[in-house]
A = this chain, B = another copy of it.
Amino acid sequence: MQWRGGDKTRSLGRSAFAHDFHATHDSHQAMTDKQGALVRLLPVKAAAPSLKDNTADLDRLKRALRPQLADRPLLLPTTRLAHLARNFRRHDFAGVAVGLELDHGLELIDFLAAPPAMVVGMALDLGTTHLEASLVELRSGRILARAHCENPQIVHGADILSRIHFADQNGGLPTLQQEIITAINGLAVDLTTQAATPVAEILVLTVAGNTTMTHFLLGLSPHHICREPYIPLANHLDPLPAAALGLQLHPAARVWVLPNIGSYFGGDLIAGIVASGLDEQEETAMLIDVGTNAEVILGNRDWLIACAGAAGPALEGGVARMGMRAGPGAIEHVEINPADGTIAYTTIANQPPKGICGSGVIDLVAGLYLARLIDIRGKFRPRAMGDRLVQGEDGPAFVVATAAQGAEGRPVLLGQVDLDALMRSKAAMYAILTTLTNQVGINFEQLQHIYVAGAFGRHIAPRQAIVLGMLPDLPLATYIPIGNSSLAGAEKVLLEPNAWQRCSRAARRITYVELNVNQEFMLRFSGSRFIPHTDHNLFPSVPFFEEA
């Protein structure tokens, strides 16, 4: 991961990065068959009917396809019978049959006169906060368009718990479902408008989302997801007819929803596993995804172990009073001169600072530590701070940007309360990582790669996270940002023949470690509430300052 301070707009171009990742780390085109993994185009040339061969049209079509299918069952959806028969005859019994690859057979959904110019699928990262989607040409693997939108459910609460409670109200669940469906329909129109193709050409949709969002999409009650013993209604689902959900794509399109493992471990992470290739590599690697929770997966082609914990809010910008998500005006990078304590920062889109995002907070706190403006417990050292320390609403605060510098004449502050929240988050993160590796008896040094997903992976500087003791003290090359791995995984399911099976397999074989009831985690959490750690031998590259 390299410092990319020059690119101020990269948070708006998130998906371009995911695309890079595809191009660099994969070889889609070589691995896919001609129509992607889920769609199959079958050339057909049938004899015309005659008195001597009076096989019915649809039976004639099936007969013509049979040699290409071995013993695989051929399924015709009821709602497509008339259309298939009409097109088959209209095109003089020759053309191209379009099928969807289901577990139990090939489902015939269309009949065309000739191979289409484009075979189109849509991939979706169904996030709690944002939805991000791409339109993919399935033969070439080419990304035709990208689009994103805010999750419209945010009006019922930014956090997932509020929405789960809202779902329990009369009419709540259908409302939440409809909001998602409307948003996806909007994205589909946006994508196909960009690509100048009809929305009805989207034959397949792959969705990677967390367990609760998946339940909302399907209209399944999430009531028990947040109640012990935290059981989802469904984890593994066969591809669903898009129309049955109210999605306006191809009339017989289907939706592949990536499987969940449990209430707190959803298809978005399964997507990450498949996108990173964690489940196929011989060497053991780790995947870190920080959203509302921090979710961590460790493993290789033989085994996978995972856990999730509440390490996220401060890192995502949700807790710090001045915190904000990465967006225009967010301070995303901070440098403090250790010699004189002077501060320099950059903001996204070069706008006057409005707040500070997760990567900015990490930079800032690491800088404060190295400049000895905070102590190893993460507390301000008033004597060293001079006029940078002010009294804010919730107690002492550090002035990151002055009122003169800030947007609308307001300063950007980091309070002691924010600092405390970050210390808890960073401690939780390191405790999660050590608890997980300890479960399987390996050391961090044995990991060749640590994949860091999402906005967190894209924006933070691993060096500063190491200084804080949030990430293990490993060579920086170990850390590989993989962008929106949820979307990348959904795209992989569209394109790579075995990706869907890999998702199911990964979901079934992961061992999930529940941290809420884990004593070891609590002990390790306490030991991690210092910078960089109680045991500073764990972080040999980080300066350790004896407290005065």
Contact = CB atoms under 8 A, between A and B. Distances in A.
A241 interface: yes
A270 to B, nearest CB: 14
B85 A220 contact: yes
B105 A59 contact: no
B51 A228 contact: yes
A229 B50 contact: yes
Given A56-B260, A78-B240, A78-B244, A51 B229 contact: yes
Interface in A96-113: 103-105
A190 B104 CA distance: 37
Nearest to A263: B54
A231 B73 contact: no
A275 B56 CA distance: 24
A51 B517 contact: yes
* Most chain B beta-carbon neighbours within 10 Å: one of A51, A54, A56, A228: A56
A78 B245 contact: yes
Contacts of A3: none
B219 A82 contact: yes
A242 to B, nearest CB: 9
A514 B55 contact: no
Interface string A226-267: 001111111111101100110000000000000010110000
Given A51-B514, A73-B103, A104-B104, A241 B57 contact: no
A305 interface: no
Given A56-B260, A82-B221, A49 B231 contact: yes
A173 to B, nearest CB: 8
Given A54-B263, A240-B78, A262-B54, A234 B59 contact: yes
A376 interface: no
A54 B234 contact: no
A57 B232 contact: yes
A86 interface: yes
A16 interface: no
A403 interface: no
A249 to B, nearest CB: 14
A231 B76 contact: no
Given A51-B517, A231-B54, A262-B54, A220 B104 contact: no
A373 to B, nearest CB: 43
A205 to B, nearest CB: 13
Interface residues of A, number: 49
Name the residue in A57, A229, A234 with the highest tally of chain B Cβ atoms < 10 Å from its Cβ.
A234
A82 B218 contact: yes
Contacts of A241: 78
A262 B244 CA distance: 33
A1 interface: no
Interface in A73-95: 73, 75-76, 78-79, 81-82, 85-86, 89
Given A220-B85, A260-B56, A76 B229 contact: no
A267 to B, nearest CB: 12
A204 to B, nearest CB: 15
Contact of A54 (B76, B230, B233, B237): B230
A236 B241 CA distance: 23
A58 interface: yes
A504 to B, nearest CB: 11
Interface in A433-476: none
Contacts of A234: 56-59, 81, 85
19 contacts: A50-B229, A51-B514, A54-B231, A54-B512, A56-B231, A56-B232, A56-B262, A57-B233, A58-B234, A58-B235, A75-B104, A76-B237, A78-B218, A78-B241, A81-B220, A81-B234, A81-B237, A89-B233, A104-B104
Interface of A: 49-51, 54-59, 62, 73, 75-76, 78-79, 81-82, 85-86, 89, 103-105, 218-221, 224, 228-238, 240-241, 244-245, 260, 262-263, 512, 514, 517
Given A78-B218, A104-B104, 17 more contacts: A49-B224, A49-B229, A51-B229, A51-B517, A54-B230, A55-B231, A55-B235, A56-B233, A56-B235, A56-B236, A56-B262, A57-B232, A58-B234, A59-B235, A75-B238, A85-B220, A89-B233
